[in-house]
Amino acid sequence: MRHWCSVLFVLATHFLSAQLRINELHCTRMPGSDGQGPNGDWVELHNAGPSALELEGYALSMNGTTLQLAAGLTIGPGGFLVLWCDKAADKGPDHLHLDLPRKGGALLLIAPDQTTVIDVFSWPSLPAGVSIGRKMDGGRSGGFFINPGPGRSNSNALSHLLKAPVLHSKGNVLRAEPIQSGEIRYTVDGTEPGPGSPQLVQALRLPEGTVVRARTFAKDAVPSLLAMHTMGIVDSAWGLMVQENDLYGKDGIADMAAGNQARKGRHWQRQAWLQQGSKVIPVGVAIAGSGSRSLPKRNFKLLVRDRFDGMEPISLPDGTGWKCVFLRADGTPDSFLRNAFMEEIARRSGSHVDVQPGFPLPLYLNGEYHGLYRAMPTKGSEWIQSLNGGDPVEIIEGPGIRVVSGNDQHYRHMLEAITSMQTLDTLDRSVDMSSLIELACYDLWTGRADHELNVRCWRPRDSTGRWRWVMYDMDQWAPPNDNSVQRMCGAGLPEAPYLPQLLADRKMQDRLLARISTLAATTLSPDRATAVADSLYSRFRQAMMRDHLRWKDEMASPSPERAHMDLLDHIANRCPYLLDQLAQYTGRTLRNLTIQVEPADGGSVHVEDLFLTGTERELRVFEGVPLHLQATAGTGMEFAGWKGAPLESDQAALTPRRNMRITAVFRPSGLSRKGGL
């Protein structure tokens, strides 16, 4: 740190013969503030000369960007002028369109000749609410101010910044990594550590669940950032640490009395610390979700932001890192199992809809077990842009067409094309129809009651970008016998997945009916879907039960076993009801199609790109709806032909007109092809 200070002010003193100098700088937005005025970015200039200065023509330059000061700015002899870096030029010439990076930078003050550099001001990464400047106005040495004073004479500067202590625990023993200077002071009672708190000089034995707060203190130094650590958290769990009054009470973001309804935005974000194994990082935290805001078990959104001292992305178990992470509560075991099931089905069915990667884990809040959560990147620009190779995207949310990123012009053109019944070929140019149809199939199969609310779609922001849909929040299911087709087609306003429009056009209807009948015979068939549900239940049963025991007295929720049985009941009974509803609504007749493989180990068949298991599979299909078949030979085999239908190649379209039985025939490779099969 002494090395940094010498570099800063050796550079600066080279130009101290100039009358105008950069005197103080603030670049750390305070948590809970609006980030404006004294709590935002600003630069203080000082006139060290005996006469007034007109600043028109002077310039500030940083990272290749130069801003020339406008007319009307004057500093009297020995006076100060604050330039507010808030991008609010309409407020006057002392408001600049300039960002001051919290992680450090260098700002140049340039003379009106636009060539002579009259001052250079460098700074390191700064903690929230701390400014940097000259110890004495216009002087040669610099320091840090824990009570910044824009427009006032500098005083009470501190010479050093201290690093936060790094804490580790093994079992019930806490240790801190050695520090070069200063003393580590700690508390375990929820209060902020101060210079008079106990000193951490050796290993401490503390009970599991104890939340330790620690800071480094030294004479003539800015106290370090707060370090937090929870004892006894296993590596597979996450720990979230937040001041109690930031969570509960009149201004708490998780206040149950108020339900935290509509409490969004920066004012309802708080400082927190996230513990993952031995690593603890500062983050911001907010309550997330809509209906779940009124439940005792809340969703959390974690934010990596400068104002929360965030320095690195939040790592997920797959190794990816994100600046915004969602901790989904899945308010009941029903929700957890249903969401996990549908996400797995979507992946096994070809990922035509986009699904956030989610990782179930136990969460500890301030040292106490808080339940089973899923950590995932939020469904916003950061994650969706990663689906587009990091390039810009447009994102639209909900039936109100709320713009999340980009604008709504292209989306409204797409919506007009759907509602005006334009041709499928026209729609294919602006819509990934396989994504929209897949969403419709999942909404129909679950009978999702809130399908019109949980809608988010995106497209690459270029001339050829097509809209795709994100599947999420798949927990509000209808009973297996619910007439979802009639309900969803009776909507007063056009809303995704635009089921009445899809079913009104013959070609789109064909594609949807082909897809839903094939899903019902493959990934959503009772045998395969039951295996998925059983596997998920077996894997997470103990974690679900622990969560259920934690919350059963505060929220009405089924037991994990009941949730599993309800899911199996839906799987066993839903497909026949749904296919019959679609047949009745469209007037199409259901037929039976049996597909066999001969010999049994000769190869396999895909229908609509979905794999048919077994040597014989029966599908309920719609009369007159084309199905795309593909026969794939096994190792050492070749495709020989079809029996039961006049199909000529291994890839063929079949249009059932009656109950049918067809067979994909394979034979050993290299046999003569003469003489038919």
Q: Residue 314: what pLDDT?
A: 97
Residue 371 has pLDDT above 50, yes or no: yes
CA 395, CA 410: separation in Å to the nearest integer?
Answer: 11
CA 288, CA 300: separation in Å to the nearest integer?
Answer: 5
DSSP string, 256-280: TTTTTTT--SGGG-EEEEEEETTEE
Residue 263 has pLDDT above 70, yes or no: no
> The tokens of 132 are what?
């940097």
Top pLDDT among 157 and 450 is at 157
Q: What percent of the chain has pLDDT over 70?
A: 93
Q: Residue 109: what pLDDT?
A: 95
Q: Letter for the amino acid at 112?
A: P
Average pLDDT, the chain: 90
Residue 252 has pLDDT above 90, yes or no: no
Beta strands in 124-223 (DSSP E): 131-134, 142-145, 160-161, 167-170, 173-176, 183-187, 204-205, 211-217, 221-222
Q: Residue 258: what pLDDT?
A: 57
The runs of H, that is alpha helices, within 273-395 are: 333-348, 381-387
Q: Which residue do the tokens 């808030």 mark?
A: 86
CA 281, CA 654: separation in Å to the nearest integer?
Answer: 58
Q: Residue 369: what pLDDT?
A: 96
Q: Output the pTM of the full model.
A: 0.86
Q: Residue 672: what pLDDT?
A: 52
Residue 6 has pLDDT above 50, yes or no: no
Compute the average pLDDT of residues 66-80. Answer: 93
Q: Residue 8: what pLDDT?
A: 45
> Quick count: other Cβ atoms within 10 Å of Cβ 398?
14
At residue 194 the predicted structure's pLDDT band, cuts being 50, 70 and 90, is very high
Report CA dihedral (371, 377, 381, 382) to the nearest 10 degrees. 140
Closest CA to 47 of 197, 186, 151, 175: 151
Q: Residue 443: what pLDDT?
A: 95
Confirm whether 2-161 and 589-677 share one CATH topology. Answer: yes
CA 232, CA 665: separation in Å to the nearest integer?
Answer: 61
Q: Residue 557: what pLDDT?
A: 81
pLDDT tens digits, 233-245: 999 999 999 998 8
Residue 129 has pLDDT above 60, yes or no: yes
CA 550, CA 631: separation in Å to the nearest integer?
Answer: 51
Compute the average pLDDT of residues 156-174. Answer: 92
Residue 340 has pLDDT above 60, yes or no: yes
Residue 500 has pLDDT above 80, yes or no: yes
pLDDT tens digits, 571-621: 999 999 999 999 999 999 999 999 999 999 999 999 999 999 888 999 999
Beta strands in 38-182 (DSSP E): 42-47, 53-54, 59-62, 65-68, 74-75, 80-84, 105-110, 117-123, 131-134, 142-145, 160-161, 167-170, 173-176
CA 379, CA 354: separation in Å to the nearest integer?
Answer: 10
Instruction: From residue 538, give the alpha-carbon distance in Å to each of 19, 234, 474, 544, 566.
Output: 75, 21, 20, 10, 15
Q: What percent of the chain has pLDDT over 90?
A: 72
CA 275, CA 79: separation in Å to the nearest integer?
Answer: 47
At residue 256 the predicted structure's pLDDT band, cuts being 50, 70 and 90, is low
At residue 511 the predicted structure's pLDDT band, cuts being 50, 70 and 90, is very high
Please tell us whether the domain made up of 2-161 is placed in CATH 2.60.40.1260: yes
- 111 exposure class (CB count in 10 Å sphere: 0-12, 13-18, 19+): middle
Lowest-pLDDT range of 36-40, 355-359, 415-419, 460-464: 36-40
Residue 367 has pLDDT above 60, yes or no: yes
Closest CA to 287 of 278, 297, 274: 297
120, β-bridge pairs: 108
> The tokens of 356 are what?
């956030």
pLDDT tens digits, 385-427: 999 999 999 999 988 889 999 999 999 999 888 888 777 788 8
Q: Domain ranges in the chain?
A: 2-161, 167-335, 345-354+387-539, 589-677
Q: Residue 107: what pLDDT?
A: 95
Residue 97 has pLDDT above 80, yes or no: yes
At residue 9 the predicted structure's pLDDT band, cuts being 50, 70 and 90, is very low
**Which CATH architecture is the domain 589-677 placed in?**
Sandwich (2.60)
Q: Residue 632: what pLDDT?
A: 96
Residue 34 has pLDDT above 60, yes or no: yes
At residue 534 the predicted structure's pLDDT band, cuts being 50, 70 and 90, is very high
pLDDT tens digits, 199-233: 999 899 999 999 999 999 999 999 998 999 999 99
Query: Going by C-beta distance under 8 Å and a sequence separation of 6 or more, which residues neighbour residue 18?
Result: 111, 118, 119
Q: Residue 32: what pLDDT?
A: 59
> Do the beta carbons of residue 61 and residue 108 sit within 8 Å?
yes
Q: Residue 475: what pLDDT?
A: 87
Q: Residue 673: what pLDDT?
A: 52
Q: Residue 293: what pLDDT?
A: 67
